[in-house]
Amino acid sequence: DAKTTQPNSMESNEEEPVHLPCNHSTISGTDYIHWYRQLPSQGPEYVIHGLTSNVNNRMASLAIAEDRKSSTLILHRATLRDAAVYYCILRPYGSGNTGKLIFGQGTTLQVKP
Amino acid sequence: KAGVTQTPRYLIKTRGQQVTLSCSPISGHRSVSWYQQTPGQGLQFLFEYFSETQRNKGNFPGRFSGRQFSNSRSEMNVSTLELGDSALYLCASSLTQHSGANVLTFGAGSRLTVL
């Protein structure tokens, strides 16, 4: 499975945008890029995913590089509730793979008031 | 709609005992996966069930087992518990199996402490 690389930690001020980077230089053409986050004392929570084009939803935006070797999760206005560990995960297309996620160490986001 | 429900939320066992954890997926979800989370190893995939059949298995010893029932509910069992089995056990469910775009919904987890 292709691997992802994320910074261990990042800090942000409340109500400012946050850009969380992820490198995935060995991504294959059929790998989807998923982001999950885990708030303290909770299970992971889906944030967003994409394949080639940038994506937006109510939680965040996902910017994918043209060569797909990196991506950035964008939180437009960080709140204290966004303090969590953010995981960037590659998901291959194909049978037998969808229930299996390979979690790295993720990025611990600290949001300051 | 109801989310993924895991029971029990907390439990304490002693070494050598066995434990069974239960997971009720979101209604209509047929795939159930289990994960172990520890401070040292992070989140690790245990196994996945789809239509009552184990489809994927992670790198865990045979003491870890699971099953899925016809209503998609799943259980996992750990026999001969060791101190290192203390962890948060997470269950996740998803709709279909054959897509890399498939999204997982996780439960809150079962916190197991082995003394």
Over residues A8-61, the pLDDT tens digits come to: 999 999 999 999 999 999 998 888 999 999 999 899 999 999 999 999 999 999
> What's the pLDDT tens digit per position in A88-111?
999 887 755 577 888 889 999 999
Structure tokens at B5: 């429900």
Structure tokens at A58: 């109510």
* Cβ–Cβ under 8 Å, residues B12 and B78: no
- C-alpha A78/C-alpha B68 separation (Å) is 39
User: Residue ranges of chain B with pLDDT lower than 70?
Assistant: 1, 97-99
A97/B100 CB distance under 8 A: yes
Q: Which of B60, B103, B105 to mutate to test the interface with A (most CBs of A within 10 A)?
A: B103
Q: Which residue of A has its CA nearest to B88?
A: A43
pLDDT at A29: 86
Sign of the dihedral defined by the CA atoms of residues A57, A30, A23, A7, in that order? positive
B97/A101 CB distance under 8 A: no
pLDDT at A95: 55
Distance from the A94 Cα atom to the nearest Cα atom in chain B, whole angstroms:
5
Q: What is the DSSP string of A19-56?
A: EEEEE-TT--TTPEEEEEEE-TTS--EEEEEESSS-EE
B103/A103 CB distance under 8 A: no
